[in-house]
Structure 1
């Protein structure tokens, strides 16, 4: 599994209403997502909210799983102000690349924007395609998702408009938390798809 130092960029958000910036300020610029076919080839763009309205349009996304040196996974609880899946727990970071933006660059950028940390290591971990309706909002996640695993060595400094709480959990603690607390509809799908890369990163003793 190739390991590449991560870099960061600037701005954008996932989960707030189109026209709202990550810092809460208004803008009239629409947020566009990259539409793809079943093989992940780009076929166009769509406005973010429109792409998530039922039945959903298949678009490119990414999911990040970062671990500390003890092999614990960094979870985030999505902020209550998000229009999609507010208040639920999920993986370290997830989002959408800008049209034409490399998924790796988007994953590193968005991790820094949401959590205030840059991964010390970040590696590609495959892709997964899924269709997950959100029963509360009625929105649909039709996504071709690029997976990334890596390490974080600095404490999170989350943006409160994006992230409510964070927690580092062992594999056993995740099982207990998942049984007790609400998680995003896509969480187990992306976690299971990323497990081979997670086990290679963390080693067998971590239990992932």
Structure 2
């Protein structure tokens, strides 16, 4: 599978405005600067949600169960376009649109070894039909599974299912807005942080 070229991430100030860029391979350290990212949940027409287990070679949270796909937009790249690009690269999955559902999501988490994630990370839903095929990149994804959202979210919330720290907080916020992923309300792009709004990315 063809891999994307070296990428820079968009660095942010506390208000979500772009303040520069940094090589993606050097950004995650013991003092990771705030930067722009995204998370996505791929949802089938029957309501099942795709989970992935991060490859064991990943710098942050290797081997951990998480949401469908995460990533970073390139400087100047529309966030929705970045979501669709990344699910194609990581999962071999082709979809036509990504819907914004949590425009304000932000988190900071620290691994046991001190490596920090520090992101403003809007969350998207990507709808696919029940016949959608996957071709995961093993350098990114160790495992994929389709799950029932009610069972998965209940397990995350009661602690019986261990997931990445961002996924856990996202599940808390998503279950607060609707019981089923197909019912999550879409949000307007103008609610995104300034660096991710269409007028500011082109």
Unmatched tracts of structure 1, length 5 or more: 1-9, 13-20, 22-28
Change (3 A) 1:149 1:181: same
Q: Cα distance 1:99–1:203, how it changes in 2: closer, same or farther (>3 A)? A: closer
Shift of 1:191: 3.0
Whether 1:161 aligns to 2:139 is yes
Q: TM-score scaled to structure 2, two decimals? A: 0.77
Measure the CA separation in 1 of the matches of 2:139 and 2:83. Answer: 18
Q: For residue 166 of structure 2, what is the aligned residue in structure 1?
A: 186
Deviations 1:65-108 (A, max 9, x none): 11111111110011112122111111010011112211111111
Residue 63 (structure 2) aligns with: 87
CA gap of 1:201–1:80, structure 2 versus 1, over 3 A, is: closer
For the residue of structure 1 that corresponds to 2:105, the secondary structure is strand
Q: Deviations over 1:91-128 (max 9, x none)?
A: 01001111221111111100111111123542112131
Q: How does 1:138-177 map to 2 (within 5 A)?
A: 138-153=114-129, 154-175=132-153
Compared CA separation, residues 117 and 198, structure 1 to 2 (3 A): farther
Instruction: Pick the aligned partner of 1:132 from 94, 97, 109.
Output: 109
Q: How many residues of Structure 1 are paired with residues of Structure 2 in the alignment?
A: 178
Give me the CA root mean square deviation. Answer: 2.4
Counterpart secondary structure, 2:38: strand
Q: Compute the displacement of 1:199 (Å).
A: 5.3
Structure 2 gaps, min length 5: 185-202
Are residues 189 and 152 of structure 1, via their aligned partners in 2, closer, same or farther at CA, if it must alter by over 3 Å? same
Give TM-score, length-normalised by structure 1.
0.75
- Does the 8 Å contact 1:98/1:106 carry over to 2? yes
Alpha carbons of structure 1 residues 155 and 114: separation in structure 2 relative to 1, 3 Å: same
Deviations 1:151-177 (A, max 9, x none): 122122211111111111112331465
Q: Distance in 2 between matches of 1:127 and 1:195?
A: 16
